Structure 1
Amino acid sequence: MQTTTLSFANLHNHGELFANLLRARRQSFIIQNRWDLPEALGMEFDQYDTPASRWVAVHEFGRVLAGIRLTPTTARCGIYTYMIRDAQLGLLDSIPSDLLYDDAPVAENIWESSRVFVAHDTPQRVRRLVHGHLISEMTKSARDLGATRVLGLIPASWPRWSKRLGLDTSAAGRVMEIDGINNQVVSIDLSGKLH
């Protein structure tokens, strides 16, 4: 099992991994979750998949087991910035605008985590390991990018696993139902891990 952080600067070094990540996202979000998202050539993508973002993949023999997208809160592409902020600004119909307790931050040291998934066919016996690799690589990559905090809109069950993974996590918004799942914006403090 490997973990790789992809960027537009290194995609060429990893063959089909980026395309396989987008295919796995399609399977997870469009097929399994039945979300109405853009797709082409069997891949899911959106307006936040730009050269400003990074993508973490847990993979084995070309098969993507899990993934996360990291986007700087300073990103801009047309009218869009990053998903949580754009939802707060009312630009996204599928996410309530009152998802945060405070104004969405825009700072060099804060990144957003989005499109988090573990592939549905990842065997149950290795899911915990896969999740651990995914979160470990996400925090390492975010720190390498200068982040001291990561915001993510994730299932509200996060308190069960965040401590187990050694994350300093706190609620940054209310619990809300999106597509039948309780979700919440959380803030992951990485400042204690920057040594």
Structure 2
Amino acid sequence: MQTTTLSFANLHNHGELFANMLRARRELFIVHNKWNLPEALGMEYDQYDTPASRWVVVHDEFGRVLAGNRLTPTTTRCGIYSYMIRDAQRGLLDTIPSDLLFDEAPVSETVWESSRLFVSHDVPAAQRRAVHARLILELGAAARNLGAAYCLTLLAATWPRWSDRVGVKMKAMGPVIETEGRHQVVAMDFATSLH
């Protein structure tokens, strides 16, 4: 199992890994979960897949994607968009309720958004926990390398049951909401975790 943090600056060094990650996202989010998301050429994408973002990918030596995640700075802007959680709060996304946070969405160089976190549907049950833990470990390292102390993420509301297992302090930042199931915005503390 390998991990790679991709950016627009290093995509050319990793062959098909970025495209494979977008294909794996499509397979899980569109095909398996039946979410209504943009797709092209067999890949899922959205307005947040920009040069400002980074993608943490867990993969095997052949480039088969096991898990992935996108990191986006909360300071980014692209037209009317900033980052998914903030844009939902601002009413720009019709698929996520605007009341997903207790307070105003942060805009800070030390806070990044973690989104599109997934473990591929075809990863065997016996390996899922290890793959997920590896993804979170690399996510924390990438976040700290980018200067982030915290990442905001929209997780399944079951997160309190497994957060201790991955070694990251997490705190609810909003109420449980209904969006493709029960979810909640959580702050992941990478300043004190995973050292």
How does the TM-score come out when normalised to structure 1? 0.97
1:3 aligns with 2:3: yes
Contact (CA 8 Å) 1:66, 1:118: kept in 2 or not? yes
Letter in 1 for 2:173: A
| Cα drift, residue 6 of structure 1 | 0.3
| Cα drift, residue 45 of structure 1 | 0.3
Letter in 2 for 1:170: K
Partner of 1:62: 63
How does the TM-score come out when normalised to structure 2? 0.97
* 1:164-183 correspondence runs (5 A): 164-179=165-180, 181-183=181-183
Report how many aligned residue pairs link the two structures. Answer: 194
Partner of 1:19: 19
| Alignment CA distance shift 1:20-1:194 (3 Å) | closer
Give the whole-Å Cα distance in 2 for the aligned partners of 1:194 and 1:158.
17
Secondary structure at the aligned position of 2:166 is classed as coil
Residue-by-residue CA offset, 1:51-97 (whole Å, 9 max, x unaligned): 00000111012110110000000011110000000000000000000
Partner of 1:40: 40
**CA RMSD for the aligned pairs?**
1.0
Most deviating of 71-80 and 156-165: 156-165
Contact (CA 8 Å) 2:137, 2:194: kept in 1 or not? no
Contact (CA 8 Å) 1:148, 1:191: kept in 2 or not? yes
Partner of 1:28: 28
Secondary structure at the aligned position of 2:142 is classed as helix
* 1:99-178 correspondence runs (5 A): 99-178=100-179
| Alignment CA distance shift 1:73-1:131 (3 Å) | same
Runs of 5+ unmatched residues, structure 1:
none
Contact (CA 8 Å) 2:89, 2:99: kept in 1 or not? yes
Give the whole-Å Cα distance in 1 for the aligned partners of 2:135 and 2:191.
19
| Structure 1 residue ranges, 4+ long, deviating more than 3 angstroms after superposition | none
Contact (CA 8 Å) 2:167, 2:194: kept in 1 or not? no
Most deviating of 156-165 and 98-107: 156-165
Residue-by-residue CA offset, 1:141-172 (whole Å, 9 max, x unaligned): 00000001100001011111111111110100
